[in-house]
Chains A and B, each alone.
Chain A
Amino acid sequence: MAKQQYRNRIELLQGTLDLMILQTLQWGPHHGYGISQAIRNRSGEILQVDTGSLYPALHRLERQKWVASEWKVSGNKQRAKYYRLTAAGKRQLARERSRWQQLTEAIGGVLDHAGNEVES
């Protein structure tokens, strides 16, 4: 349990929360709780999105017009605010993804190089 808590505290890189939210909404509209559960499940319970970061992020994305929201009733008759990706949000997602790709490749390159040195 203690270990899991520790792993849960992996700090998200700046901007990655936005990327994950947009990516999650790619598969269809979701409410805030659903988004946080989706991220948690897809990350294998490692990434737990803090509610105190999630809602400010959603409202910021809405203000930037990358997501839009509307009130709907969920499957178990719970009224909830659903967010969906806008056209601008899709473009933003593509941009963020390619940036992320570059970043991971770059970091991977650095790590591989360092690993080789240790081996030799």
Chain B
Amino acid sequence: MNFPWLGRKQRTDELNEELESHLTMATEDLAQRSESRAAAAQAARREMGNFLLIREVTQDMWGGRWWRDLLEDVQYGLRVLWKNPRFLTVAVVTLALGIGANTALFSVVNGVLLNPLPYPHPEELVTLHESKPNFSTGSISFPNFLDWQKDNQTFSSMAVQRGTSFILSGLAEAEQIDAQFVSSDFFRQLGVVPVIGRDFAPGEDLVGAAPVTMITAGFWKRKFGSASDAIGKSLTLDGRAYTIVGVVPANFDLLGTMRSRELYVPVGQWSNPILMNRAAGLGFHGIGRLKPGVTVAQARTDMERVARNLAETYPDSDKGIGAALIPLRERVLGQVEPFLLLLLGAVGFVLLIAGVNVANLLLARSTGRAHEFAMRMALGAGRGRILRQLLTESLLLAAIGGGLGVLLAAFGTKAALRVLPETLPRAAEVGIDARVLVFAAGVSLLAGICFGLLPALKISKSGAQSALKEGGRGGSGTRHRVQRALVAAEMALALVLLIGAGLMIRTLGALWNVNPGFQPKNVLTFGFALPSAMSGANADSVRAALREVHEKFAAAPGIQAVSFSWGALPLSSDDEWLFWIDGQAKPANDNDMNWALNYVVEADYLRVMGVPLKTGRFFTRQDDEHGQRVAVIDEALASKFFPGIDPVGKRLHLNNGGDQVVEIVGVVGHVKQWSLDADQKESLQAQLYTPFMQLPDKAMAQSAPGVSVLVRSEDSAPVFESIRQASAQMSNQQVVFGAQTMNDIIANSLAERRFSMTLLGIFAGVALVLASVGIYGVISYVVGQRTQEIGVRIAMGAQRSQVLRLVLAQGAAMSAIGAAIGLGAALPLTRLMGTLLFAVSAADPMTYFCVVALLFGVSLAACWLPAWRAARLNPVDALRYE
């Protein structure tokens, strides 16, 4: 390896000595023939030639010339940049913005999409669901899961899981704990090894097994100070004692999206009476690991066979039920992939604009330096050498800008994630890693080369003589043309981004104006659990206790109306019951019955939610466990099952765990259950309301450890606090938890779009500012170049307003060309936004018009200052201007 920069000084000294000795020897030889020694020395020197030149040519033989030139270029470039701090600042800040925004977004894409899921062999993991008439990825019943596990031939293991919560008592004040029911293989197949203790054993997930639990490292620390003797201790959950067998590592994150859980309990411990009912999905979803080498398609075929066999064996419950397999990655990231890639494309535009701006700055500055380069060329610098010098300078700029950009990205990413912490899967894994740094370096390099090359070529091409002749003022028309074209390009890019942002704003506006079928303002939802001593109590005592709670909550300050809720909750969670219409034959099996979303609520529900009553009546306090069984339906159920008939007075058979016959007493408006934008796309629309107090006994007993409460409050009352106090006054063993306003629920359902809108808006804003700076720079520069001409015009009698118009017209022309190109590009590009848009066309004329007007307004404002300066020129000064 040759390190040319090492020992160079010493080698140069040696070379000097070598050449000196040559001279001495030549002098000695000549001295014998010359009259004087001085004459001999002179002759020897003449014969030798240019000492310095010889030395330099010889040094070139050592190699490393390239490095020395680079070092020189860098030193020179830094000096030149440093001498012009205003230019340096503008260029570096512009590049830092562009590179920073790209790096920030890339770090999100990298963390979320590119990095593999944090499990061993994540490509083998697929999520499992039941496909049923109304749901393509419905939940799996536990008995079906057990058969899937037993009968399949393509999976090395399978597990099911479901969120739940327990009331933990006995350690301190009772509290609600988020937990997860899992089957035995769950942790093993995800490659999770307990910190201490053991994993769940096979069979431990079956009904009747001894109650055990695994706790997470956070819970372990909080409750036991991470002491190892926690293993084997007992926890009281919903009044039952569970033995702690192991601790789950702190970094275990359930697919990156779920809320953090504090403990895990085997499925079989669930006290739900219909757990072993083959027809009951109960919210279980599965995850399986394919055997090595098995494809998803092979697994699907295998599972089709398994499901078909089950349907034959258990037609009552399994007819029409299939198995749905979705690769884990697709399930977790399928939703966000398109919009993240869209945003990455959009932020690329910002970088383009930033780069174009810097190219323009370099171009404008190069005119001032034409003289310098002409001089260097005249002194013998090759065109390649000049080109290299200029490229070195732009790369230096890009490197400084890139460095700042990475810093900006490090902070920007954190800020961006705070906007939307919950909706983005794997948000916690986003950060700056080696790949992000390589990306930033690559982008900086590319920007430096692309945007430095254009002005560099321009300069090195213009011959030395012409620049010298023009006395450093350069300024032939062609250079302006390039600058104008670049500004027009910036305008076009900015316009595309603005239109994207505009369409998102319109979409969100439209979504906020969608009528959800209820009035979300001032509605609060939260969970409530009776003291764990009530677990296992009979239905009558649970009813009595809940009645008392209802009274206390209703009397709390600021509360207008209260309703318990069981089953489905609009835009949050769904729950279905099966029914058939009285008078028709009972369907042979469950899957031939009709489906309805079930809302089990109290008399004040309509007042709380503001759902309109259409005909008949809603529930009263008399519709209780002693009264006749009644129901209220929504318009969708009415029009589907009672077309043209008044449903009031008709009766339905409910298959809800206690075969009930209910009489329809009223019809209410339809409520958007699934989402604001795509509710009507879901096949299940029918909605059925039943009185809370008429809930079948088994279900009522079950609601002791957890039931939803909905309250309507007065404007801006601190409701949750007064609810908490009301609850605490009754007993410190009952718990209120998970408060969320209806408005928050709606806002969360729009979070993904809001994220896109916010980012697109920021990108578009940055783009607009950069493009305005660009047009301002070019117009100022052109005005500067034309100072003399303008002076002549004014001296010849041109009006100030004419000068103003002259300059503004130039800006307007650039904007118009840019807008035309931008519109042409936006039409196809905004189609890519497809599913993100709602109730607004990708070619929405209103958006396009406003955005074009905005662009023109801003660009003319940016031109105003230089135009005004031009109009105010004193012709005498202008003519003297050099």
A and B: partners? Answer: yes
Q: Which of A61-111 contact B (CB under 8 A)?
A: 63, 74, 76, 78-81
Given that A51-B54, A55-B54, A63-B62 are known contacts, is A78 also in contact with B48, CB under 8 Å in the complex?
A: no
Q: Which one, A37, A51, A81, contacts B14 given CB within 8 A?
A: A81
Contacts A76-B28, A79-B17, A81-B14; is A51 near B61 (CB within 8 Å)? no
B85 in contact (CB, < 8 A): no
Known contacts A32-B18, A59-B58, A63-B63; is A52 also within 8 Å of B24 by CB? no
What residue in chain B is nearest A74 (Cβ atoms)? B25
A59 to B47, CA, bound (A): 20
Asked if residues B24 and A78 are in contact (CB atoms below 8 Å), the reply is yes
Q: Does A60 contact B (CB under 8 A)?
A: yes
Q: B21–A51 contact, CB under 8 A?
A: no
Determine the distance from Cα of A60 to Cα of B28 in the docked complex, in whole angstroms: 28
CA distance A76 to B21 in the complex (A): 12
Q: Which residues of A1-57 have CB atoms within 8 Å of chain B's CB atoms?
A: 31-34, 37, 50-52, 55-56
Is B60 part of the binding interface, using a Cβ–Cβ cutoff of 8 Å? yes
Provide the residues of chain A in CB contact with B49, threshold 8 Å.
50-52
Which B residues, 1 to 51, have Cβ-Cβ distances below 8 Å to chain A?
14-15, 17-19, 21-22, 24-26, 28-29, 47-50
Contacts of A51 in B (CB 8 A): 19, 22, 47-49, 54
A35: min CB distance to chain B, Å = 10
Report the bound CA distance from A80 to B28 in whole Å: 14
A10 to B14 alpha-carbon distance, docked (Å) = 31
In the bound assembly, the distance between CA atoms of A51 and B22 in angstroms comes to 9
- The reply to whether the CB of B588 lies closer than 8 angstroms to some CB of chain A is no
Q: Is B796 an interface residue (CB 8 A)?
A: no
Known: A52-B50, A76-B28. Is A33-B21 also a contact (CB below 8 A)? Answer: yes
Q: Is the CB of A31 within 8 A of B58?
A: no
Is B21's CB under 8 angstroms from A55's CB?
A: no
Given A55-B54, A76-B28, A81-B14, decide whether A60 and B21 contact each other with a Cβ distance below 8 A: no
In this assembly, does B53 line the interface, its C-beta being within 8 Å of a C-beta of chain A?
A: yes
Find out whether the CB atom of B25 lies under 8 angstroms from the CB atom of A78.
yes
Contacts of A52 in B (CB 8 A): 49-50, 53-54, 57
Complex: A81 Cα to B28 Cα, angstroms: 17
Please, how many angstroms separate the alpha-carbon atoms of A74 and B21 in the complex?
10
Selected from A33, A56, A76, A79, the residue in CB contact (under 8 A) with B61 is A56
Q: How long is the Cα–Cα vector from A57 to B26 in the complex, in angstroms?
A: 19
Shortest Cβ distance from residue B102 to the other chain A in the assembled complex, whole angstroms: 45
Closest to B55 in A: A55
Q: Which of B22, B53, B54 has the most CB of A within 10 A?
A: B22
Chain B residues positioned under 8 Å from A81 (CB to CB)? 14, 17-18, 21
B62 near A33 (CB under 8 angstroms)? no
Find chain B residues with CB under 8 A from A56 CB: 54, 57-58, 60-61
Contacts of B22 in A (CB 8 A): 31-33, 51
* Chain A residues positioned under 8 Å from B61 (CB to CB): 56, 59-60, 63
A33's partner among B25, B53, B54 (CB-CB below 8 A) is B25
**Measured CA separation A81–B29 after assembly (Å):** 18
- B48: chain A residues at CB < 8 Å are 51
Q: State A81–B14 Cα separation when bound (angstroms).
A: 9
Chain B positions within 8 Å of A74 at CB level: 25
Contact B28 A31 (CB under 8 A): no
Bound together, the chains give a CA A32 to CA B47 distance in angstroms of 14
How many angstroms between the C-alpha atoms of A76 and B32 in the bound complex? 14
- Chain A: interface residue count, which band? 10 to 19
Chain A minimum-CB-distance residue to B29: A37
Contact B25 A55 (CB under 8 A): no
Question: A37 vs B25: C-alpha distance in the bound complex, in angstroms?
Answer: 11
When chains A and B are docked, how far (Å) is the Cα of A31 from the Cα of B17? 12
What is the CB-to-nearest-CB distance from A113 to chain B, in angstroms, rounded to a whole number?
A: 40
Contact A59 B62 (CB under 8 A): yes
* Residue on A nearest B49 in the bound complex, by CB: A52
B138 to chain A, nearest CB (A): 77
CA distance A55 to B50 in the complex (A): 13
Q: Inside 8 A of A55's CB, which chain B residues have their CB?
A: 15, 18-19, 54, 57-58
CB contacts (< 8 Å) of B53 on chain A: these are 52
User: Which residues on the B side are within 8 Å of A63 (C-beta)?
Assistant: 61-63
Task: Determine how close the nearest CB of chain B comes to the CB of A116; give it in whole angstroms.
Answer: 43
Proximity bits, B240-260, A CB within 8 Å = 1, else 0: 000000000000000000000
Report Cα–Cα, A31/B15, bound state, in Å. Answer: 13
Could you say which of B15, B47, B54 has the most chain A C-beta atoms within 10 Å of its C-beta?
B54
In the assembled complex, the CB of B11 is this many whole angstroms from the nearest CB of chain A, namely 9
In residues 50-104 of chain B, which contact A (Cβ within 8 Å)? 50, 53-54, 57-58, 60-63
Cα distance A38–B26 when bound, in Å?
13
Task: Across the interface, name the chain B residue whose C-beta is closest to A52.
Answer: B54
Contact partners of B29 in chain A: CB under 8 A: 37
Name B11's closest neighbour in chain A (CB-CB): A59
Nearest chain A residue, comparing its CB with the CB of B63 = A63
For residue B474, give the distance in angstroms from its CB to the closest CB of chain A. 39
Bound form: Cα–Cα A104–B62 in Å: 32
Residue of B nearest to A80 (CB): B21
Give the chain B neighbours of A31 by CB distance below 8 A.
21-22, 25
Residue in chain B with minimal CB distance to A76: B28
Nearest neighbor of B59 in chain A, beta-carbon distance: A59
Chain B residues, Cβ within 8 Å of A60:
61
What 1/0 flags go to B314-326 for Cβ under 8 Å of A? 0000000000000
Closest to A57 in B: B61
Bound state CA distance, A76 and B28, in angstroms?
Answer: 10
Across the interface, name the chain A residue whose C-beta is closest to B60.
Answer: A56
Assembled-state Cα–Cα distance A74/B25 (Å)? 10
The complex places the Cα of A10 from the Cα of B28 at a distance, in Å, of: 27
Distance between Cα atoms of A81 and B25 in the complex (Å): 12
Inter-subunit contact A79/B54 (CB<8 Å) = no
B contact residues around A33 at 8 Å (CB)? 21-22, 25-26
Of B25, B47, B54, B57, the contact of A80 (CB 8 Å cutoff): B25
A37 to B60, CA, bound (A): 25
Q: Which residues of B contact A80 (CB under 8 A)?
A: 18, 21, 25
| Shortest distance between the CB of B3 and any CB in chain A (Å) | 13
| In the bound complex, CA of A67 to CA of B15 (Å) | 16
Task: Identify which of A33, A37, A80 gathers the most chain B CB atoms within 10 Å of its CB.
Answer: A33
Closest to B22 in A: A33
* Docked CA distance A74–B24 (Å): 12
User: Cα distance A37–B30 when bound, in Å?
Assistant: 12
- Chain A residue numbers with a CB within 8 Å of B63 are 63
Give bound CA distance, A113 to B57, whole Å: 41
How long is the Cα–Cα vector from A1 to B328 in the complex, in angstroms?
94
Cα(A52)–Cα(B47), bound, Å: 10
Given the known inter-chain contacts A50-B49, A63-B62, please indicate yes or no for A78 contacting B21, CB distance below 8 A. Answer: yes
Listed residue (A50, A63, A81) with the most chain B CB atoms within 10 angstroms of its CB: A81
The closest CB in chain A to the CB of B19 belongs to A55
Give CA–CA (A55, B14) in the complex, Å.
12
Q: Given the complex of chains A and B, what is the CA–CA distance between A60 and B57 in angstroms? A: 11
| List of A residues within 8 angstroms of B21 by Cβ | 31, 33, 78-81
Chain B contacts for A59, CB-based, 8 A: 15, 58, 61-62
Q: Count chain A CB atoms within 10 A of each CB in B14, B19, B21, B29 and give the residue with the most.
A: B21
- What distance in Å separates the Cβ of A22 from its nearest Cβ neighbour in chain B? 16
C-alpha gap A34/B24 in the complex (Å): 12
The CB with the most chain B CB atoms within 10 A, among A31, A59, A63, is that of A59
Q: How long is the Cα–Cα vector from A77 to B335 in the complex, in angstroms?
A: 87
Known: A59-B58, A78-B21. 19 other contacts (CB 8 A): A31-B22, A32-B18, A33-B22, A33-B25, A37-B29, A51-B47, A51-B49, A52-B50, A52-B53, A56-B54, A56-B57, A56-B61, A59-B15, A59-B61, A63-B61, A63-B63, A78-B24, A78-B28, A80-B25
- A-binding residues in B (CB < 8 A): 14-15, 17-19, 21-22, 24-26, 28-29, 47-50, 53-54, 57-58, 60-63
The 4 A-B residue pairs whose C-beta atoms are closest, nearest first, are: A59-B61, A33-B25, A60-B61, A55-B58
- 16 pairs of residues in contact across A and B, judged by CB atoms under 8 Å: A31-B21, A31-B22, A33-B22, A34-B25, A51-B19, A51-B48, A55-B19, A55-B54, A55-B58, A56-B57, A56-B61, A59-B15, A59-B62, A63-B63, A78-B28, A79-B21
